[in-house]
Chain A
Amino acid sequence: MCSLRAVIYCLSADAAKPCFVLSFKELLIMLDCGLSAHSVLSFLPLPQVPSQRLAALPTYMPPHLSDPLLDGELKECCGRVFVDSTPELCPPLDKVVEFSQLDVILISNYTCMMALPFITEGTGFKGQVYATEPTLQIGRFYLEELAEWLSAAPRAHAARRWKEVLHLLPPPLCDAHKPRSWRTLYAPDTLARALARVRIVGYDQNIDLYGALEATAVSSGFCLGSANWVIRSAHEKVAYVSGSSTLTTHPRPINQAALRGADLLLLAALTQTPAHNPDNMLGDLCMHAAMTLRGGGSVLIPCYPSGVIYDLLECLSAHLDNAGLAQVPLFFISPVADSSLAYSNILAEWVSGGKQARVYLPEEPFPHAQLVRSARLAHHRRLHEGGFSADFRQPCVVFCGHPSLRFGDAVHFIEMWASNPLHAVIFTEPDFPYMEALAPFQPLAMKAFHCPIDTSLNFSQANKLVRELRPGALALPEQYAGTGAAGRPAINVEERPTLVLRRGGVVRCGVRRRAARGWLSAELAASLAPRELRPGLQAAPLAARVVRRDNRLRLEPAEAVTGGGRAPPPRYEWSAPNVDELVRQLAREGITDAKVEAGTDGCMVHLPRHDTLLHLDRHSTHIFCSGRPELRAAIRRALHHCLPSI
């Protein structure tokens, strides 16, 4: 059986920031381009205002090593060693797939597109990039925020030497994964060029991929504009499920029906904190915040400029109102704070039904617009820009990035509040282990709470989803596979063939193709007269000219050999002729001299007068005859009468 196969390349080691390339039907399709920011934790924070404490940290040098090049690259804080340089990020693996050969990039949500400029700019990339409108807009906010912060305090010297002596360094620095492939962030104009490539799609909009495939973004319920992708031809279907949520929060709910019955299901970006229930964490967060505020302290919530923050603003403000803390101001500090708040309220078509209903009134779907109007929530571009210091009063709640605490204005708040046990920092973003985020600020007197809110599918939800979707095969990153250490949660669907993907790895999967979709011309169709071969199955022989254009297959009438007119459809025979019957039929055609001679596996029929020999066996009849067409026609007619045919 002819079966073309799909190939999946895995380019990211971080299952929450996936990057795959699917090779299918002669197209190279990149699914997500996540940028792993874990690497920034190895670096010293970039303070927005010079910090004496950080500047005064002692330089570190590995024992028994004196390397002048390494001097000043490493600093030590409370027994941990950090790199003193501009933080670097870990983009998807290049060289496994030539980026210039990519045909399409499909992006599932804004947390999985941060590496886009690394893929599309300066690589010769010529393909198309597709994302939903909120993904593009909010992705832009994330990237612009990141770019602004990372370029805030440029370092003259980029530390490189430490990567050469990695094995001599203490943990966890020595365990850094391939630091030589880490890169600093792209320039703003590179970012703008990359984003300008993105084509906007809506949910359930079918996009034609070079005539060979159709791709559709379907709602995944995780964040504004988040999508799962369904890639299909007339006969095959691949579903890419990344960053999905079955919980009810602000985005449109997940569309499961569209994912059902795929030949291959690729699963990525499940929850990063499987042990924590997001609802309970939200409750804990509100409780910790209220306790701290009541005690006269302020609360810092390091976060991204969009996403869970909308839910936090809604829940926390309501909780504080009920707790008698309605006067406590909320601050949202980000270079894109105003845009993020404004945009979220015009994306009515992308929010949950409840929020959508508000638009018909017309009221903003999110209550934060009301919070801004009533001056409960103040948003500012940055700390040290006019306006903020005038507004600022304590106790308060500050929402501010970056969650890694390595750059952004959150660094300043931590430095400012670290020594006061009244204040608290509450971690909600799941991307970074909170103790590592806090490491360069030790010793820390302020309280630290860990309330990760990750609404992505957890393992039992994902297992349930896979069982319901019944894919032909399942592909997933090694982190999710059931082969890991005991006790670790995993995806385990025994009856499905499962492919395990690891960074740099390639797997082939059996999306079987048996047929291609074509279009039959009406003229050709009209010339056919199908007969019933078996109840429910009609058939007719067909000779057709194959026309391929724009990757579409058409069947047109074929011309006859002799030119002019249409070629008659061929006739196919089956079973075996009865020899006596054949002799009778030949006689009817006027051929009366047939002599039958039995052989080992059939028989011979001689027609001496016509200089003709028929050799019959179970599977074939071979006629050796003189060239007269009339005779051939007579024999054919005779055979036709003794053989069933189509």
Chain B
Amino acid sequence: MPDIKITPLGAGQDVGRSCILLSMGGKNIMLDCGMHMGYNDERRFPDFSYIVPEGPITSQIDCVIISHFHLDHCGALPYMSEMVGYTGPIYMTHPTKAIAPILLEDMRKVAVERKGESNFFTSQMIKDCMKKVTAVTLHQSVMVDNELEIKAYYAGHVLGAAMFWIRVGSQSVVYTGDYNMTPDRHLGAAWIDKCRPDLLISESTYATTIRDSKRCRERDFLKKVHECVEKGGKVLIPVFALGRAQELCILLETYWERMNLKYPVYFALGLTEKANNYYKMFITWTNQKIRKTFVQRNMFDFKHIKPFDKSYIDNPGAMVVFATPGMLHAGLSLNIFKKWAPYEQNMVIMPGFCVQGTVGHKILNGAKKVEFENRQVVDVKMTVEYMSFSAHADAKGIMQLIQYCEPKNVLLVHGEAQKMEFLKDKIEKEFKINCYMPANGETCVINTPAKIPIDVSLRLLKAESVRYNAQPPDPKRRRVIHGILCVKDNRLSLLDIDEVCEEIGINRHVIRFTSTVRFEDPGPAARTAEKLKALLSEKLQGWSITISDGNISVESVLIKVEGEDDNTKNIYVSWTNQDEDLGSYILGLLQSIVQ
């Protein structure tokens, strides 16, 4: 039985970093190659020594697929390709290829320049790594080699996020990466066709959440921001440079416009314009509405949102600041947080998920004091709000995706164990399929039924259809073909015996049996034949039985009735050796009638 093996090196019952090994049909594929934002040591990268303790890694991995540009999905890629020494193919979509190096460079700067880490990859390594990437477009079928095929589907999580369908021979797997099943202000909803994979590997960040309606969340967010700035408070919104940030900017921009507000809104990033340029360039990846109207008005040209300068941190009065990074684990957002946290009138809105170990995670869990490496302690008096804006599918969305693509098995990753457990139960009950949730380093083996391609001779098929079509239509009638299965150069074909003989140059020898049964049945032979036919039809339902000139044929078995009127009849039953089964059955049947 062919099977599929999956080993998460990350994202197995956690949301830290995604890196999943997939083996099927003799191919090894790495799905995502992320880094963990909560660690500062070697634990942040996946444990590549798991794949091969030492020696070259390239021979062990046939390809690496990156689902989107978030660092917890691509952060370890330069490490793997430039420092571990992987030289095989890497696939991602065009927007991911464009944006990922910018985020990697950002992270590198924070790690090396701010934290003074060594043994980190360099800018040049990021560039060299990206040169090895093959960019793919949606729905394009890419042959990695003769047997391994991949295809990207729209995932709607961030610009350029994709789900990947992966096929080796007759086995197939869908890896969702992160996805979102509800369209938002700038992206569309994830979509996949009914591809019926053997296995669906789905993220499950919001496995137990059913998010309230999009509009309510947006109204809530705007209300909170508005109330805070009205009281003269400062609002900090930690975001990642690309993705959620653009959606929230569109939201605030339209609200400020409508309410005619004058409070300053800042976007704290040199990248702003550049980031928005990417959105303009890859507008085909945004949602329908933006695509339709972009010629008249580009949604990413903001009127109210201005670039931020560090000196504004201490400015008096209300303001709203978008600052990177999104989990308050380093950089500018953390600096601003340290300054603003001790004041009650201020507010921090966490618009996305925070991994364990980050400041964001701590304050979301209600920490009132946060201690930093240099023993600095910050009191958190500001309001801390969490709003799930990060575009992951919720439980409903995950179930919907399963319904769309009809997998035979589901495997959950990128979620918390407890919540996964709940969803796993739900999936198994609702869809009656197996659901798995391996932990990191744990290998999950999934059996798949073999689907074996075979070339069937048209001569055989045609002969069968001629036989079938000669009969009155009956959907229950069995349709059987007899032939010779040939295995040549590892390919299967089903041929007619004569075709095989022709091919290997031998003469067929036909063995035929004929037996006679005596039957006392006065009257014309034709009537006896009719009688027998009625009898056989009753016994052999679903078989084609015909009669012509007093000869009955049951598929290839011939029955002939001979004899004078008013006399004993000779019934000849004749069949070839191949039909021994049917022939002897009919003969036995006739013999039992006679006695």
Contact = CB atoms under 8 A, between A and B. Distances in A.
Interface of A: 2, 4, 133, 201-206, 216, 234-235, 338-339, 342-343, 345-349, 356, 359-360, 362, 364, 513-522, 525, 528, 530, 533-534, 536-547, 553, 555, 558-562, 567-568, 570-577, 618-627, 629, 632, 636, 639, 643, 646
A356 B282 CA distance: 11
Given A537-B487, A620-B509, A623-B514, A544 B587 contact: no
B479 to A, nearest CB: 4
Contacts of A343: 295
A516 B458 contact: yes
Given A346-B283, A629-B584, A513 B509 contact: no
29 contacts: A2-B462, A133-B284, A202-B138, A205-B139, A234-B453, A235-B455, A339-B295, A348-B94, A359-B94, A359-B98, A362-B274, A515-B493, A518-B494, A519-B451, A519-B454, A522-B449, A522-B451, A538-B487, A539-B487, A543-B482, A545-B479, A546-B480, A546-B481, A555-B456, A558-B478, A570-B578, A572-B484, A572-B508, A577-B509
A233 to B, nearest CB: 11
A555 B454 contact: yes
B337 to A, nearest CB: 30
A534 B504 contact: yes
B508 A573 contact: yes
Given A234-B453, A518-B454, A625 B513 contact: yes
A622 B512 contact: yes
A642 to B, nearest CB: 10
Given A541-B485, A621-B510, A632-B584, 14 more contacts: A205-B139, A206-B141, A362-B278, A514-B458, A515-B493, A516-B458, A520-B454, A522-B450, A538-B487, A542-B494, A572-B497, A574-B509, A576-B507, A620-B509
Interface string B490-511: 0011100100110110111111
B443 interface: no
Given A574-B509, A619-B508, A346 B514 contact: no
Contact of B455 (A516, A530, A625): A516
The residue among A356, A533, A618 with the most chain B CB atoms within 10 A of its own CB is A533
Contacts of A346: 280-284, 294
Given A360-B97, A555-B454, A544 B277 contact: no
Q: Which of B295, B503, B504, B587 has the most A CB atoms < 10 Å from its CB?
A: B295
Contact of B492 (A520, A558, A568): A520
A522 B139 CA distance: 30
Nearest to A519: B451
Contacts of B563: none
**Interface pairs A-B: 9 shortest CB-CB:** A570-B578, A515-B455, A205-B139, A520-B452, A620-B510, A538-B487, A522-B450, A546-B479, A204-B140
Interface of B: 1, 94, 97-98, 135, 137-142, 151, 274, 277-278, 280-284, 294-295, 449-459, 461-462, 464, 478-489, 492-494, 497, 500-501, 503-504, 506-517, 540, 577-582, 584-585, 587-588, 591
A621 B453 contact: no
A538 B491 CA distance: 10
B581 A539 contact: no
A521 B170 CA distance: 12
Contacts of B578: 570-572
Contacts of B482: 541-543, 570
A539 B451 CA distance: 19
Nearest to A343: B295
A616 to B, nearest CB: 9
A623 B574 CA distance: 9
A537 B282 CA distance: 53
A541 B482 CA distance: 8
B452 A525 contact: yes
A339 B514 CA distance: 82
Contacts of B489: 536
Contacts of B581: 560-562, 567-568
A203 B454 contact: no
A544 B512 contact: no
Best-buried of A202, A235, A530 by chain B (most CB within 10 Å) = A202
Q: Which of B455, B462, B591 has the most CB of A within 10 A?
A: B455
Contacts of B512: 620-623
Nearest to A533: B504
Contacts of B94: 348-349, 356, 359
Contact of A545 (B137, B478, B516, B588): B478
Contact of B509 (A541, A542, A576, A626): A576
A546 B452 contact: no
Given A205-B139, A622-B514, A623-B512, A537 B577 contact: no
B487 A360 contact: no
A12 to B, nearest CB: 30
Nearest to B517: A627
A544 B481 contact: yes
A339 B142 CA distance: 31
Contacts of B455: 234-235, 515-518
Nearest to B449: A522
A342 B294 contact: yes
A577 B511 CA distance: 11
Contacts of A364: 281
Contacts of A624: 514-516
B485 A636 contact: no
Contact of B511 (A528, A553, A621): A621
B483 to A, nearest CB: 6
A574 B513 CA distance: 17
B85 to A, nearest CB: 25
Contacts of B283: 346
A471 B396 CA distance: 51
A575 B451 CA distance: 35
Nearest to B555: A561
Contact of B141 (A205, A574, A621, A632): A205
Contacts of A559: 478
Given A346-B281, A360-B98, A639 B457 contact: no
A342 B484 CA distance: 61
A558 B480 CA distance: 7
Contacts of A558: 478, 480
B456 A516 contact: yes
Contacts of A542: 482-485, 494
Contacts of A536: 488-489
Contacts of B582: 561
Contact of A620 (B274, B511, B588): B511
A574 B281 contact: no
A484 to B, nearest CB: 38
B295 A540 contact: no
Contacts of B517: 627
Contacts of B497: 572
Nearest to B510: A620
Contact of A575 (B462, B507, B587): B507
B457 A514 contact: yes
A59 B461 CA distance: 69
A125 B382 CA distance: 65
Nearest to B170: A519
A629 B575 CA distance: 14
Nearest to B450: A522
B508 to A, nearest CB: 5
Contacts of A562: 581, 585
